[in-house]
Chain A
């Protein structure tokens, strides 16, 4: 089966940096996605890591360690609009269908 662990909620200040951690256990592994979901809206794709290391994309970066079953999403220069839920979604082997955890609700305050 699949098991995904993320903090339920985090708060941060506008302009700061925040790191959202995710640990996972899957049957096989074909990469890991991060999605952003604003309240009442559908998720939007942020990043995809398949190899170990850091992938940087603007203010957002994502890191993966396959041996540790660990990933994190790093958000820099936080803006109020970054207040959302962030979903870690590993891609199990075989099915190629990502599994979603409950996500981390990030609250950015002034």
Chain B
């Protein structure tokens, strides 16, 4: 149980375009999902907490107008990287859990390359 699906797994886009990443909890409902970013050989950095039916909570230093998060249902959250630039190239990973003290279950991640 507790499977999280993320799509696409890999995307290459041109500078200035937008990219949408989907995260789905397949066998459980998630009122809260989490979006992380990871640069090579670096730790997972929490970008934002996605809340179903309300606005996302962004971590300090993360531009909410650039990284749009929508959590329209209990099983789907999306992250849209708007006007992407090469420095946005990274590994983006979503996660969800069944309860506050439960472990995070991660999607397979999305490797974004902006050319």
Contacts and interface: CB of A to CB of B under 8 A. Distances in A.
A102 B49 contact: no
A30 B100 CA distance: 10
B34 interface: yes
A3 B83 CA distance: 33
A87 to B, nearest CB: 7
Given A43-B44, A103-B43, A30 B101 contact: yes
Interface string B23-38: 0000000000010100
A87 B108 contact: no
A97 B101 contact: no
A63 interface: no
Contacts of A96: 100-101
Given A97-B46, A101-B43, A102-B42, A45 B105 contact: yes
Contact of B104 (A41, A45, A101): A45
Contacts of A31: 101
B109 A41 contact: yes
Nearest to B34: A97
A73 interface: no
B48 to A, nearest CB: 11
Contact of B107 (A40, A42, A97): A42
B10 to A, nearest CB: 10
Given A41-B109, A42-B93, A42-B108, A48 B103 contact: yes
Interface of B: 6, 34, 36, 41-44, 46, 49, 91, 93, 100-101, 103-109, 111
Given A42-B107, A96-B101, A99-B46, 11 more contacts: A30-B100, A33-B103, A40-B91, A40-B111, A42-B93, A42-B109, A43-B44, A43-B106, A45-B104, A98-B104, A100-B36
